[in-house]
Amino acid sequence: MNNTIKFSVNSQNNGKRLDVFLTENIENYTRSFLKKSIKNKQVKLNNTEIISPSTRIKYKDQITINVFQKSEQKIIPKKIKLNIVFEDKDILVLNKPKGMVVHPGAGNNEDTLVNALLFKYKKNLSDLNGTLRPGIIHRIDKETSGLLVVAKNNLTHSNLGSQFSKHTIKRKYLCLSWGVVRPLSGKINTLITRDKKNRQLMTVSDVNGKKSITNYKTIKVFNIKDIPKISLIECELETGRTHQIRVHLKYKGTSLLGDKQYGKKNIKFKKINNEFFTKLNKLSGQALHAKTLEFVHPGTKKWMSFNSDLPGSFKKILKFLENLSS
């Protein structure tokens, strides 16, 4: 299957190597794979085939890449209820529930957000990110809840994509983490790459990877008897790498409540509040929620700001901690 992806180069990427640009902007493909794609004449720069990965791109260049899938994957539209926060002819802002995968992938082909979008909007979605991800500009992890913006046409997709690339879109998350992050607020600026020991995970690297920036602020530290210290933290993303907040918190020596991938395995408590322990086990995934999303509307040019409520399990455990600490 031929999956076509298109890009318009913004000013921040002027002079960058073609293979580096593609690696930074296409998820789930390695730099070596994309280099081979370039050498195999699968990439066009301003409608001209390019075979050199080291080609320098320029502002306003148009890039098209044809990524060949090993086998055709048919996406079946499925009636799934969507929590729509805002909608007009250009965009759709929705609140993704915990447990929903954004787009089809290995082991997740039927109950994704894309399946739901195709059922409701059919072909009225952008296709700049390929036929497997109609309307999808960005994504959040399966077990993370919160706000996403979807593009209904290619012009909107291109505009929002440019805002993401320029880091002008504001994305704020709320999370609960074990212990206290020091300092209480700051900027985490690292490279993030795939973990060599476990390819399903990401890790911080001093040598290679994608530039990743998270600004964080500790809102409150809960220091309650028979409960380990817990921090309520607001994280604002400048970049949006896979598992970025979870990887950065691990880098700072902590992890999110309920995070079974990046947290400690089988946490043992000498003494624990039973009611808290019950609520902790009901989290069913990490305590991480994409609460705020702000951007310039591609059509009206107005500044749009959206906020969403915390999901039930997150809200209950937070309320429990606040009641005990008051």
Angle between helices 312-325 and 274-281 (to 10 degrees): 160
Do 176 and 232 contact (CB within 8 A), yes or no? yes
Helix, strand, coil content of the chain in percent (nearest 5):
20, 30, 50
141 is catalytic: yes
The CA-atom distances, in angstroms, between 220 and each of 2, 176, 186, 233, 279 are 49, 10, 15, 7, 19
Q: Can you give the pLDDT at residue 232?
A: 98
CA 230 to the chain's CA centroid: 24
Q: Can you give the pLDDT at residue 267?
A: 64
Q: Can you give the pLDDT at residue 131?
A: 79
Q: Can you give the pLDDT at residue 68?
A: 67
Instruction: Indicate the class that CATH gives domain 2-68.
Output: alpha beta
Within 8 A by CB and 6+ apart from 8, the residues are 60, 61, 62, 63, 158, 161, 162
Q: Can you give the pLDDT at residue 266?
A: 57
Q: Can you give the pLDDT at residue 66?
A: 87
Q: Work out whether the CA dihedral 197, 200, 202, 208 comes out positive or negative.
A: positive
**CATH topology (fold) of 73-166:** Pseudouridine synthase (3.30.2350)
Q: Can you give the pLDDT at residue 32?
A: 82
pTM equals 0.79
Name which of 245, 252, 237 is nearest 180 in CA terms: 252
Active-site residue identified among 19, 90, 127, 141 = 141
Q: How many residues does the chain have?
A: 326
- Dihedral of the alpha carbons of 113, 32, 241, 266, in degrees to the nearest 10: 90
Per residue of the chain (326 residues), give pLDDT as tens: 557 888 999 888 899 999 989 988 886 677 888 898 899 999 999 999 999 999 999 999 999 998 765 544 678 899 999 999 999 999 999 999 999 999 877 666 788 999 999 999 988 999 988 778 899 999 999 999 999 999 999 999 999 999 998 899 999 999 999 999 999 999 999 999 989 888 889 999 998 888 999 999 999 999 999 899 999 999 999 999 999 999 999 999 999 999 999 987 656 666 788 888 888 888 878 999 999 999 999 999 999 999 999 999 999 999 999 998 87
Q: Can you give the pLDDT at residue 165?
A: 87
Neighbour count for residue 301 (Cβ, 10 Å): 8
What are 40-46's contacts with CB under 8 Å, separation 24+? 42/66, 42/67, 42/68, 43/18, 45/18
Angle between helices 31-39 and 18-25 (to 10 degrees): 130
- Architecture in CATH of 171-290+315-325: 2-Layer Sandwich (3.30)
Name which of 242, 241, 270, 245 is nearest 256 in CA terms: 245
Q: Can you give the pLDDT at residue 132?
A: 82
Q: Can you give the pLDDT at residue 150?
A: 97
Q: Where are the domains of the chain?
A: 2-68, 73-166, 171-290+315-325
Distance CA 176, CA 291 (A): 13
Identical fold for domains 73-166 and 171-290+315-325, yes or no, is: yes
Q: Which two tokens stand for residue 201?
A: 């995970």
Name which of 218, 226, 237 is nearest 272 in CA terms: 226
